[in-house]
């Protein structure tokens, strides 16, 4: 099973990378770009027969994959590979 | 007095810390590998600077799960002095011994320079003997040293006098131009509520010899000796 997790900085946290990319996009023909935030995308392969998978995954999303002080996370998809 | 210098894979200021500490009368410092699980027999704990686990995921995010860390937390709860320098500060925030987090420098540049900090709390365990407003010159070397905390946390840090050091100009003024990384309120170092855990981005370990252009780091380590001795006297 493939799981996709997105980690993104909270709105209150300064994201200088996002600001630099926003400026570049505005300069390169997209003045309508208002803001860019840069986070992380994780693609995780998991053996799906394990118990409590979702609960344990969310636990590690909070403890390891994201830092709740500065980031939010979202589990995008838990699609079973066919 | 015995100091533990914890070595993580990727620590690179462990030797600086050991050399600086062993050069101070009254201190005996020893390495402790991160896979150890006990800090028995040590009076103070140092988490040195560096790039533990290559800074993968987030700075300190993986080191904070090292086998030694539960005993660091336990010893901190028991009141032992813990100092996290640079990467050590990041690890202390990640594990929740200190509030807030350290994010990418506002400039996006790695900063490596001598800076000035101002002592904001004179009677802390780490600035004992420094009058409020004392200026300490120390080097910084980091890419992720921009301190961030929510507003409520910031208010609490201010109210409880947990902000120990702020970045200032050479003559002690708090200005944006003196802030090397964009930290909120020019914060360079904070302690926990109990005052025994301290994290800072500047390197006192690299400011303990005249030939390194500053000996101000000694003030912090010497303060720790006095505080630990006072603590032991209280306990006895």
Q: What is the pLDDT along chain B (236 residues), one digit of tens a residue?
A: 999 999 999 999 999 999 999 999 999 999 999 999 999 999 999 999 999 999 999 999 999 999 999 999 999 999 999 999 999 999 999 999 999 999 999 999 999 999 999 999 999 999 998 999 999 999 999 999 999 999 999 999 999 999 999 999 999 999 999 999 999 999 999 999 999 999 999 999 999 999 999 999 999 999 999 998 888 766 65
Task: Supply B69's token pair.
Answer: 């860390």
pLDDT-derived band at A79, boundaries 50, 70, 90: low
Residue of A12, A16, A61 to mutate for B, most B C-beta atoms under 10 A:
A16
Handedness of CA A71, A72, A77, A78 (dihedral sign): positive
* Residue B210 to chain A, least CA–CA distance (Å): 36
Specify the pLDDT at position A77.
75
Q: What is the three-class DSSP state of B233?
A: helix
- The label of the residue with tokens 């462990």 reads B14
Specify the pLDDT at position B34.
98
Give me chain A's average pLDDT, please.
93
pLDDT tens digits for range A5-18: 999 999 999 899 99
Task: Mark out chain A residues that contact chain B at CB-CB < 8 A.
Answer: 9, 12-14, 16-17, 20, 64-65, 67, 69-70
B172: buried, middle or exposed (CB in 10 Å: 19+, 13-18, 0-12)?
middle
Q: Which of A23, A41, A43 is nearest to A33 (CA)?
A: A23
The residues, any chain, with a CB within 8 Å of residue A1's CB and separated by 6 or more, are: A45, A46, A47, A48, A78, A79, A80, A81
Contact A64/B57, CB-based, under 8 Å? yes
């Amino acid at each position: 099973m493939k799981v996709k997790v997105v980690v993104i900085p909270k709105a209150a946290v300064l994201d200088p990378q996002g600001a630099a990319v926003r400026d570049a996009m505005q300069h390169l023909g997209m003045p309508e770009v208002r803001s860019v935030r840069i986070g992380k995308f994780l693609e995780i392969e998991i053996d799906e027969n394990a118990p409590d998978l979702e609960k344990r995954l969310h636990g590690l999303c909070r403890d390891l994959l994201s830092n709740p002080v500065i980031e939010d996370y979202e589990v995008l998809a838990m699609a079973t590979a066919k | 007095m015995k100091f533990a210098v914890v070595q993580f894979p990727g620590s690179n200021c462990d030797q600086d810390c050991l050399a600086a500490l062993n050069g101070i009368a009254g201190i005996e410092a020893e390495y402790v590998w991160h896979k150890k699980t006990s800090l028995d027999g040590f009076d103070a704990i140092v988490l040195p600077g560096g790039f533990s686990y290559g800074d993968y995921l987030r700075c300190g995010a993986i080191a904070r799960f090292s086998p030694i860390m539960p005993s660091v937390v336990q010893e901190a709860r028991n009141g032992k002095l813990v100092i996290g320098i640079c990467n050590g500060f990041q690890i202390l925030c990640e594990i929740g011994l200190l509030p807030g987090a350290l994010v990418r420098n506002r400039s996006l540049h790695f900063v490596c320079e001598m800076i000035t900090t101002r002592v904001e709390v004179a009677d802390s365990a780490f600035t004992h003997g420094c009058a409020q407003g004392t200026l300490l010159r120390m080097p910084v070397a980091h890419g992720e040293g921009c301190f961030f905390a929510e507003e409520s946390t910031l208010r609490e840090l201010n109210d409880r006098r947990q902000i120990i050091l702020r970045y200032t100009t050479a003559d002690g003024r708090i200005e944006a131009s003196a802030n090397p990384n964009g930290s909120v309120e020019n914060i360079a170092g904070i302690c926990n509520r109990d005052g025994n855990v301290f994290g800072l981005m500047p390197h006192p370990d690299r400011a303990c010899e005249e030939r390194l252009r500053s000996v101000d780091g000694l003030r912090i380590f010497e303060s720790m000796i006095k505080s630990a001795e006072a603590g032991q006297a209280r306990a006895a």
